[in-house]
Amino acid sequence: MSASHRVRETLKTFYAALMLGRRPNDVRYVFMVGDSQDNIAEAARCGGEIRDPFTTDAELERMWQERYCPERYDVDAMLGLPETTLGGSYARHMKKFDLRPDFYDEVSARHKLHYLRLRIRQTHDVWHVIAGYDTSHFGEVGLQGFYLGQFTNGQSVIIGAGAMLKHLVLARFGELERCAEAFCEGYSNGRRARSLLAVKWEQLWDQPIEVLRGRYGIAAARQN
């Protein structure tokens, strides 16, 4: 990536982060931050400046080569699974918070880290369930910390820092501490766990959550 291109992507990040601060529920700016940061990180990955998850995880590389992208999840069908299973817990999570598995648009991956971002978006609520983070403000911040522990990812840093800055500006220091604790806990849990980037969760719906957490070394989040 040329210096001018990097500057453009960085400016795009700053613009999106500013707009996100003004309109925190507008996911367009979340996507813009992620896309611009992924473009910068892809150049850094190719240049050997950051850890390359595709080099250290052969299964992730295979997923990229085949452009693995499963069909949309049938949440209603998964409600028949026990609540203790990944699929059963995920389905109840989606119904409880009125979430849709087809929330994100289907687009073609431009490069490896963009593919990884699309996969993370597709399985975002699966990660909520398996890592134990709720959908509260602090739960979302904690999950961003978990993501950062799993792979180099500027979007998580920006979202976490933005949340803390908001509490600082508003002088809500108790919430600032909770936000920092959630992010740090998530980061530590993500670092300690095995890599989850290449896990095909769609093949594990009937597996007990606690068994999967043990298999992948996941410490469930504390109550936020």
Percent of the chain with pLDDT over 90: 58
More confident of the two residues 173 and 131: 131
Residue 172 lies in a domain: yes
Residue 174 lies in a domain: yes
Q: Do 101 and 92 touch, CB atoms closer than 8 A?
A: no
Residue 125 lies in a domain: yes
Instruction: Give the Cα separation of 161 and 197 in Å (integer).
Output: 23
**Position of tokens 């980061």?**
187
Position 199 confidence tier, pLDDT thresholds 50, 70, 90: very high
Cα atoms in the Cβ-side hemisphere of radius 13 Å centred on 32: 17
3-state secondary structure of 85: strand
pLDDT over 60 (residue 224) = no
Output the pLDDT for position 183.
96
Write out pLDDT tens, residues 83-128.
Answer: 999 999 999 999 999 998 866 667 889 999 999 999 999 999 999 9
Domain hosting residue 137, numbered range: 3-216
Write out pLDDT tens, residues 117-169.
Answer: 999 999 999 999 999 999 999 999 999 999 999 998 888 998 898 888 888 88
Residue 59 lies in a domain: yes
Output the pLDDT for position 145.
97
Residue 224 lies in a domain: no
Residue 41 lies in a domain: yes
Q: Which of 181, 166, 147, 188 is nearest to 23 (CA)?
A: 166
Output the pLDDT for position 19.
81
**What is the distance of C-alpha 101 from the center of its chain?**
15
3-state secondary structure of 221: coil
Q: Do 185 and 142 touch, CB atoms closer than 8 A?
A: yes
Number of independent structural domains in the chain: 1
pLDDT over 80 (residue 175) = yes
More confident of the two residues 33 and 116: 116
Position 23 confidence tier, pLDDT thresholds 50, 70, 90: confident
pLDDT over 80 (residue 21) = no
Output the pLDDT for position 125.
95
Long-range contacts of 128-132 (CB under 8 A, 24+ apart): 128/93, 129/86, 129/89, 129/90, 129/93, 129/209, 130/86, 130/196, 130/201, 130/209, 130/212, 130/213, 130/216, 130/218, 131/186, 131/189, 131/190, 131/218, 131/220, 131/221, 132/218, 132/220, 132/221
Output the pLDDT for position 22.
74
Residue 91 lies in a domain: yes
pTM reported for the whole predicted model: 0.88
pLDDT over 70 (residue 180) = yes
**Position of tokens 């593919």?**
115
Rounded mean pLDDT, 195-213: 97
